[in-house]
Structure 1
């Protein structure tokens, strides 16, 4: 099933992707081939305004205002001390911003989780990363007063890109080895008393820090307040793929629903026979169709994470013909999927369905990254091309693109 790879993001022009912007001058290939999953890496820029287009001077107030309706997304933390939500919520269940600011004055870090759900610039960034990497992504914000530490030494279950927005922060790393994934799965807790002496680095405004999963760390501000964002990158594992594949297999094949025999826990002979049953399930998982179904389920999950695009207006569809130039909404992860009586173009929480004779055009749309003319849609009559384009503009998948100015013909000398 084809998947789109359109990359729109809030960074300045001149970067091929949102990840390229976050990592520059480190290239995306260098990051993926040499740095990802290895060790913390500091990208120092000496440009305090680097992230202004994403998060300007008023970003703290914008985030708090957006999250006011959802107290569950806001936490106040000062080392081991976590303020209970009732201490900074109003009677109507919303966040009391005055109490939150008072907590900041008393040394608490304001933690704002999953801000991509509330502010479109951050959802554009995260979805752009998801389109590029195929990894689910989220953004948290941390507003910390001077000379303070938010969380005690801890580790994250996912990779993180730290974006220092305002102020400076000192980061501490404890040991050279990450917590192994099997211990993370057991919710292993860090004992601060048993940690080695940390190494440290200074993160200035405009810098990026890459932190792979499992690395024990903490951070504290200097003499100035700090605002930083963490872009959490949830890299799927073999367990993720196996889980999705098994689930999809369970919907169509009874091999994984075979009943276990009585006394399978206590009878050694019965226990020994279980290997043959397990082997049958593993053989079914190895089938290419089963793997494709598992990957399709992961695609479906990623598609549904996107926020719905801005819906088009009827006026946007007036005057469309075969020469009209259009482009895809960016970023927008999409795929072509079978429906009951045809095919569907799935994106965000929407599916635009059509008859089976539209499949070639749908796949063209899912794979296309550049603007195109309506008449370029393959396998359709002109009226079908126009009808499909109008439907996709109204649903927000397509936008009318500016028509490039005509190229002047060079003078002919005789």
Structure 2
């Protein structure tokens, strides 16, 4: 496992463990508890990700503004989900109006508050999720759980995705059982037969500023201590080998009529196992096309790449509405998501982006090439051939067109 910039978000969470160690010893195998003593910088980072004020704003402004997705906010108490009808009304087509006063009342009386998909509303969480998605190559979502003192949101259960629990405030006591279905892809509560309490494999206290990784299928339950517990759950949703094979078969059946034929009723009726085996073996042989397999994998990777992607730098819209004054010493760079080509002709220079073509005089070619060389630069550092006023006219024109933007200090 090669550690690179794409693994920086994961490194920040699991330090002092390395990414290579995490993948080889813990990923999809067993839980990992990262205590505060081992990663003292994590606590401050978590407070920058999400706060009580963020949730207060969500309730007062977003939920209070009108209908929202009915599942954007859930409540649970003593291990039992509270029916949505208890705190929302006018449910239509998957949207509902939330009764904020009722929600606060339920929380005061011991209910756990669950805010789903906070990566859609919180910039720092979105950044973290997108960076982790880039590393793992799959969807990454985030939920907030706020549990009152001594409260429990859910009973013993297992998830169908891997999770990182990031404790922001307070403490939560976790009991970890076995994995009756290792790497389960089916979420659900665990009954006594699945995870009897007397065979708990580990008990730990997750304190503020600590992290806990759990592979999917691991049965667990948590209870808040004497203070309110506030944690962020990061869900890593896997793309399994089974899903890959399903995708390959789905593609093959569009091309190969043999895969679209029904299983012969007479074989099913008489239980002709040998005949079925022969047919399945014949069809399986058609799945060994390496180019098709590579095409399906590349398509899946393209879907991930076309997802949310890296979060744009905060403030870029502000700079479009109210751009900073560009001087001779203002550092400028090409926007991260912009691709620019430079073409020359007898009529001058064409700077071509995805959305526009900007025509400039041919004598400015050395300066234009310097501006789009890849490294940030300023008007004063451009090649000779234009005076200072001419350089300023050039860079301000390109900045207005959105082909250059000012570096953000600090």
Regarding TM over 0.5, the answer is yes
Judged with a 3 Å threshold, the aligned counterparts in structure 2 of structure 1 residues 212 and 262 are, in CA distance, closer, same or farther, namely closer
Structure 1, 104-113 or 250-259: larger mean CA deviation: 250-259
Residues 333 and 377, structure 2, Cα contact 8 Å, conserved in 1: no
Is 1:43 matched with 2:47? no
User: Residue 12 of structure 2 corresponds to which residue in structure 1?
Assistant: 21
Q: Secondary structure at the match of 1:170?
A: strand
Shift of 1:130: 0.9
Is 1:284 matched with 2:257? no
Judged with a 3 Å threshold, the aligned counterparts in structure 2 of structure 1 residues 121 and 155 are, in CA distance, closer, same or farther, namely same
Q: Secondary structure at the match of 2:281?
A: helix
Judged with a 3 Å threshold, the aligned counterparts in structure 2 of structure 1 residues 142 and 71 are, in CA distance, closer, same or farther, namely same
Structure 1, 59-68 or 121-130: larger mean CA deviation: 59-68
Shift of 1:40: 1.4
Judged with a 3 Å threshold, the aligned counterparts in structure 2 of structure 1 residues 273 and 90 are, in CA distance, closer, same or farther, namely closer
Q: How far apart are the structure 2 equivalents of 1:23 and 1:308?
A: 21
Q: Secondary structure at the match of 1:169?
A: strand
User: Residue 403 of structure 1 corresponds to which residue in structure 2?
Assistant: 376
Shift of 1:297: 3.4
User: Residue 369 of structure 2 corresponds to which residue in structure 1?
Assistant: none
Counting only pairs closer than 5 Å after superposition, residues 216-365 of structure 1 correspond to structure 2 as 216-269=219-272, 271-306=273-308, 325-329=333-337
User: Residue 386 of structure 1 corresponds to which residue in structure 2?
Assistant: 351
Shift of 1:268: 3.9
What do the CA deviations read for 1:226-264 (whole angstroms, capped 9, x no partner)? 110111112222101111111122233323213433412
Residues 244 and 295, structure 1, Cα contact 8 Å, conserved in 2: no
Shift of 1:77: 0.6
5+ residue gaps in structure 1?
Answer: 8-15, 330-351, 353-364, 366-373, 393-398, 408-414
Q: Secondary structure at the match of 2:128?
A: helix
Residues 79 and 154, structure 2, Cα contact 8 Å, conserved in 1: yes
User: Residue 202 of structure 1 corresponds to which residue in structure 2?
Assistant: 205
Which one has more relative contact order, counting CA pairs under 8 Å at least 6 apart?
1
Residues 66 and 118, structure 1, Cα contact 8 Å, conserved in 2: no
Q: Secondary structure at the match of 2:47?
A: coil
Q: How far apart are the structure 2 equivalents of 1:385 and 1:243?
A: 47
Q: Secondary structure at the match of 2:266?
A: coil
Q: Secondary structure at the match of 1:223?
A: coil
Judged with a 3 Å threshold, the aligned counterparts in structure 2 of structure 1 residues 404 and 52 are, in CA distance, closer, same or farther, namely farther
Count the aligned residue pairs: 334
Structure 1, 382-391 or 283-292: larger mean CA deviation: 382-391
Q: Scaled by the length of structure 2, what TM-score is found?
A: 0.71
Residues 151 and 218, structure 1, Cα contact 8 Å, conserved in 2: yes
Q: How far apart are the structure 2 equivalents of 1:235 and 1:111?
A: 22
5+ residue gaps in structure 2?
Answer: 358-371, 382-410
Residues 173 and 204, structure 2, Cα contact 8 Å, conserved in 1: yes
Q: How far apart are the structure 2 equivalents of 1:298 and 1:239?
A: 14
Q: 2:140 aligns with which of 137, 140, 143?
A: 137
User: Residue 392 of structure 2 corresponds to which residue in structure 1?
Assistant: none
Q: How far apart are the structure 2 equivalents of 1:162 and 1:35?
A: 15
Structure 1, 29-38 or 66-75: larger mean CA deviation: 66-75
User: Residue 190 of structure 1 corresponds to which residue in structure 2?
Assistant: 190
Shift of 1:79: 2.4
Q: How far apart are the structure 2 equivalents of 1:289 and 1:29?
A: 30
Residues 178 and 215, structure 1, Cα contact 8 Å, conserved in 2: yes
User: Residue 104 of structure 1 corresponds to which residue in structure 2?
Assistant: 107
User: Residue 59 of structure 1 corresponds to which residue in structure 2?
Assistant: 54
Q: How far apart are the structure 1 equivalents of 2:31 and 2:282?
A: 42
Q: Secondary structure at the match of 2:268?
A: coil
Q: Give the RMSD, CA atoms, in angstroms.
A: 3.6
Q: Scaled by the length of structure 1, what TM-score is found?
A: 0.70
User: Residue 180 of structure 1 corresponds to which residue in structure 2?
Assistant: 181
Counting only pairs closer than 5 Å after superposition, residues 155-166 of structure 1 correspond to structure 2 as 155-166=158-169
Q: How far apart are the structure 1 equivalents of 2:208 and 2:31?
A: 18
Residues 67 and 118, structure 1, Cα contact 8 Å, conserved in 2: no
